[in-house]
């Protein structure tokens, strides 16, 4: 029904439907991560990914030696369709060019337990009860920069398990010991230099039982991990064969466009001109759903124009008074009120503030932000009586299945999810809303596949935004340059509470328990004599969600800019001020020193050139950045270069890390320079990119990236490049103009970048 390409085969009804009984077997995380390998292989043998025999839930080998890998993490440009196969290929001893990648169904072996537990898996010690619970629930998703941390052990053990099965099959056929056999480039070779291909051995190997976890290769034996491997998705993206969800074309497919209530949290109560719209050329049906009004037509253009012509009756649900001004007033009141939580408090902060050295105060602010993914949100759904299929670019296939189940009341095991490439995710494509809306539309025309496309205007005005945040600081710096007291009060809407209420209501945290609120604001690595971090909750009908790097995206801006203010109060260089406070955290110190070395921090710059520095840890990785700028006019700058050093522990593909640092910095700069969602009369004022600009080529800096060589468990790389981008730039600008910049975006304050 859909086109196929050389790397990614579309799924049939039988493909990787793995459900039931997993809790009883103990295999709730995966073949490689548990000691119950035999049960796993027995259970999953014969579950096909096209031609060939299954070694385990991740690997199928065809007679022609093609190795098909099930990669259950969404490919949205971050390179997981290459880096995760690298981990398997390292142990399986296969060439990367022999790999074909498919995306499996959202079933329990593919659960991303690390995404919620943030705990390093240890295959030899087993998994915690909490991890098993998350796996049993089947949380199959991509987010929090967790693909490599979650898969680093498991994927290697999957490859090693398959390797040992193949070696045993070959040894049995030759009548020799397994110890006399080795795996090499898709073959098993014995002491006599006889060889059998994986394809020849696959069927016999799939019946082999392995009692113990295999031994992994030593680091010095790696030939693929830590090597710059060409991404497997690039060729088909260059040729145009890559299928994003907007590319999906099915027989007899129709197209839909939606209109949402104009006021946030409002409700469309009636369509006044439904008959007139249904009489328009190409229009098949006009639908009023619980989520808004939709027009179904024979192409997207006609559906969109007809939707724009809808005359709608609406109830604003009392939200028309919401404005950016009223939101700012509420944030100010929260900063002055008693916090709902104080998750970090060490020493006597109040005493140090009253008796310590020089006291400084500052308030920092950031606005709401949209995700603004380049590929417009879209989803194709086919409902057929008691079953459904979905074609969508989504970060969490289990969310897709749950959403269709909820809207269409179809059993989950009768819902097939075809996960395509994502044209940008950033957290937006982890939400259920656009899938639910597409399902609601498709449900009214059972038997007909309908692709619902959300225009940029409808998406931008109905996003799950990064919240507006205000952060109040007060610090005391003594004559020795020590921070006697650090007091930080934050006001915002709880992201985790809002998002999890939509995703998994039973697991939604209370606002006062939301760790995302203070991530990047507490547990700072700098030595301080006393510190306190507290926050208050802003309650509004505006929905907020996970935005690339979540709480760190704003808290890094706040804390690293205020660190510069503390350095200025102490009369010290910003780099030296930070370094003196990192003796207890050598990994942070090493990153800071490296990025200073890269940028020649101690070397004076030419006239009108300035630098800013920032250091931040998020998602298990430490990133230091230095922005180098040129002052052209009073408020006019060029952003010349960014230097970036990252300690992500062990790493897989250095090319991917470099690309993610570059992309993360540009993403952060777009927000710092231009990003802002404002409100008036309960409505969003930005509709499209003319009002919500992005960094263009002429503004984009050169980015120089260095990966630290650190032998520690991997951290994430998809998001950590974003948080330091804004403070590094703002610290450079503040140095250039001699006063502090404390709110974003910069363009709103008259700054220009060329």
Residues 472-485: tens digit of each pLDDT: 999 999 999 999 99
**How confident is the model over 452-469, as a mean pLDDT?**
98
Amino acid 56: pLDDT: 87
Q: What is the pLDDT of residues 413-425, one digit of tens each?
A: 999 999 999 999 9
C-alpha distances in Å from residue 271, one per residue of 285, 320, 355, 459, 735? 12, 20, 66, 21, 56
pLDDT in tens, 574-606: 999 999 999 999 999 999 999 999 999 999 999
- Mean residue pLDDT of the chain comes to 91
Residue 46 has what pLDDT?
A: 31
- Residue 440, both tokens: 């609601």
The owner of tokens 């994502």 is 422
Q: How many CA atoms lie within 13 A of 644 on its CB side?
A: 33
Backbone angles phi, psi at 144, to 5 degrees: 65, 20
Domain range annotation of the chain: 22-239, 250-317+371-460, 338-369+464-753
DSSP state of 258: E
> Would you tell me how many other CB atoms lie within 10 Å of the CB of residue 47?
18
pLDDT tens across 317-362, in order?
999 999 999 999 999 999 999 999 999 999 999 999 998 789 999 9
- In this prediction, residue 50 carries a pLDDT of 60
Q: Residue 439 has what pLDDT?
A: 98
**From CA 558, how far away is CA 568, in angstroms rounded?**
16
String of DSSP letters for 332-359: HHHHHSPPSEEEEEES-HHHHHHHSSEE
Q: How confident is the model at residue 113 (pLDDT cuts 50, 70, 90)?
A: confident
| Phi and psi, residue 697, nearest 5° | -60, -40
Please tell me the least confidently modeled range out of 26-35, 448-457, 458-467, 667-676: 26-35
pLDDT digits (tens, 9 = 90+) for 87-97: 999 999 999 99
- Strands (DSSP E) found in 179-338: 182-184, 187-189, 195-197, 254-259, 267-271, 283-288, 293-297, 312-315
| Separation of alpha carbons 345 and 263, rounded Å | 40
Residues 500-520 have a mean pLDDT of 95
As a whole number of angstroms, the distance between CA 420 and CA 405 comes to 20
Tokens of 423: 């044209």
Strands 636-647 and 621-631, by their bridges, are antiparallel
Using the predicted structure, report yes or no on whether residue 125 has a pLDDT greater than 90: no
Nearest to 343 by CA among 171, 533, 209, 524: 533
- Tell me the pLDDT band of 130, cut-offs 50, 70 and 90: low
What is the C-alpha separation between 593 and 684, in angstroms, rounded? 43
pLDDT in tens, 136-189: 778 899 999 999 999 999 999 999 999 999 999 999 999 999 999 999 999 999
SS3 labels along 714-735? CCCCCCCCCCCHHHHHHHHHHH
Q: Which CATH fold would you assign to the domain 338-369+464-753? A: Aldehyde Oxidoreductase; domain 4 (3.30.365)
Confidence of residue 15 (pLDDT cuts 50, 70, 90): very low
Terminal-residue alpha carbon distance, the chain? 48
**DSSP conformation letters of 491-553:** EE--HHHHHHHHH-GGGPPPGGG-GGGTTTTSS-SS--SSEEEEEEE---S--B---TTHHHH
Residue 120 has pLDDT above 60, yes or no: no
Q: What CATH number matches the domain at 22-239, 3.40.718.10, 3.30.360.10, 3.30.365.10, 3.40.50.2300?
A: 3.30.365.10
Distance CA 540, CA 554 (A): 19
Q: Which residue has the tokens 């942070």?
A: 588
Band the pLDDT of 7: cuts 50, 70, 90: very low
* CATH code of domain 250-317+371-460: 3.30.365.10
pLDDT band of residue 14 (cuts 50, 70, 90) is very low
Q: For residues 53 and 198, what is the distance between their CA atoms, to the nearest angstrom?
A: 10
Per CATH, 22-239 and 250-317+371-460 having the same topology is answered yes
């Amino acid at each position: 029904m859909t086109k196929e390409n050389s790397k990614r085969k579309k799924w049939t009804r039988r493909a990787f439907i793995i459900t039931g009984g997993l809790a009883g077997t103990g295999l709730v995380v995966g073949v490689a991560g548990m000691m119950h390998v035999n049960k796993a292989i027995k259970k999953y043998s014969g579950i096909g990914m096209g031609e060939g025999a299954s070694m385990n839930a991740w690997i199928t080998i065809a007679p022609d030696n093609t190795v098909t890998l099930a990669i259950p993490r969404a490919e949205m440009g971050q390179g997981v369709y290459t880096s995760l196969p690298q981990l398997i290929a390292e142990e399986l001893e296969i060439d990367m060019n022999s790999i074909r990648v498919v995306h499996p169904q959202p079933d329990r072996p593919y659960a991303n337990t690390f995404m919620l537990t943030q705990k390093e898996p240890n295959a030899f010690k087993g998994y915690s009860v909490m991890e098993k619970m998350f796996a049993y629930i089947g949380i199959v998703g991509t987010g929090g920069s967790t693909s490599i941390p979650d898969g680093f052990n498991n994927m290697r053990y999957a490859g090693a398990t398959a390797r040992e099965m193949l070696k045993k099959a070959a040894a049995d056929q030759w009548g020799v010991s397994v110890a006399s056999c080795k795996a090499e480039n898709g073959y098993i070779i014995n002491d006599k230099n006889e060889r059998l291909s994986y394809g020849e051995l696959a069927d016999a190997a799939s019946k082999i039982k392995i009692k113990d976890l295999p031994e992994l290769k030593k680091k010095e034996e790696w030939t693929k991990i830590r090597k710059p491997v060409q991404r497997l998705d690039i060729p088909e993206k260059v040729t145009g064969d890559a299928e994003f969800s907007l590319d999906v074309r099915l027989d007899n497919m129709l197209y839909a466009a939606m209109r949402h209530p104009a006021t946030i949290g409002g409700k469309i109560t009636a369509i006044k001109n439904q008959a007139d719209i249904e009489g328009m050329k190409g229009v098949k049906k006009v639908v009023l759903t619980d989520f808004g009004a939709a027009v179904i037509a024979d192409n997207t253009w006609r559906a969109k124009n007809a939707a724009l012509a809808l005359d709608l009756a609406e109830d604003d649900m009392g939200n028309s008074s919401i404005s950016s001004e009223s939101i700012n007033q509420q944030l100010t009141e929260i900063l002055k009120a008693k916090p709902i939580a104080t998750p970090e408090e060490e020493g006597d902060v109040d005493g140090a503030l009253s008796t310590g050295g020089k006291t400084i105060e500052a308030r920092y602010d950031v606005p709401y932000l949209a995700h603004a993914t380049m590929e417009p949100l879209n989803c194709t759904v086919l409902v057929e009586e008691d079953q459904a299929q979905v074609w969508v670019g989504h970060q969490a296939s289990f969310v897709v299945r749950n959403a269709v189940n909820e809207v269409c009341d179809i059993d989950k095991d009768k819902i097939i999810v075809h996960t395509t490439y994502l044209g940008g995710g950033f957290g937006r494509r982890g939400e259920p809303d656009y899938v639910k809306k597409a399902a609601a539309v498709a449900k009214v025309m059972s038997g007909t596949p309908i692709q619902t496309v959300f225009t940029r205007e409808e998406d931008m005005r109905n996003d799950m935004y990064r919240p507006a945040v205000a952060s109040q600081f007060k610090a005391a710096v003594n004559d020795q340059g020590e921070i006697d007291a650090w007091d930080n009060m934050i006001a915002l809407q709880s992201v985790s509470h809002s998002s999890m209420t939509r995703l998994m209501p039973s697991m939604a945290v209370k606002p006062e328990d939301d760790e995302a609120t203070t991530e990047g604001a507490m547990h700072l690595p700098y030595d301080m004599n006393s510190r306190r971090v507290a926050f208050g909750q802003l309650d509004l009908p505006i929905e907020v969600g996970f935005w690339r790097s979540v709480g760190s995206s704003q808290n890094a801006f706040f804390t690293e800019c205020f660190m510069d203010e503390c350095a200025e109060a102490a009369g010290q260089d910003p780099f030296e001020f930070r370094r003196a406070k990192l003796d207890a955290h050598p990994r942070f110190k090493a990153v800071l020193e490296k990025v200073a070395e890269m940028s020649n921090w101690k070397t004076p710059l030419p006239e009108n050139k300035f630098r800013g520095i920032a250091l931040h840890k998020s998602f298990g990785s430490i990133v230091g950045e230095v922005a180098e700028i040129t002052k052209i006019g009073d408020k006019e700058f060029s952003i010349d270069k960014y230097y970036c050093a990252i300690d992500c522990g062990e790493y897989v593909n250095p090319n991917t890390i470099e690309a993610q640092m570059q992309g993360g910095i540009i993403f952060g700069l777009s927000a710092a320079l231009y990003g802002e969602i404002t409100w008036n009369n309960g409505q969003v004022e930005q509709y499209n990119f003319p009002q919500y600009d992005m960094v263009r080529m002429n503004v984009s800096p050169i980015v120089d990236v260095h990966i630290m060589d650190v032998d520690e468990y991997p951290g994430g790389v998809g998001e950590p490049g974003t948080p330091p981008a804004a403070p590094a730039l703002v610290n450079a600008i503040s140095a250039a103009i001699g006063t502090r910049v404390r709110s974003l975006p910069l363009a709103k304050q008259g700054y220009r970048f060329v």
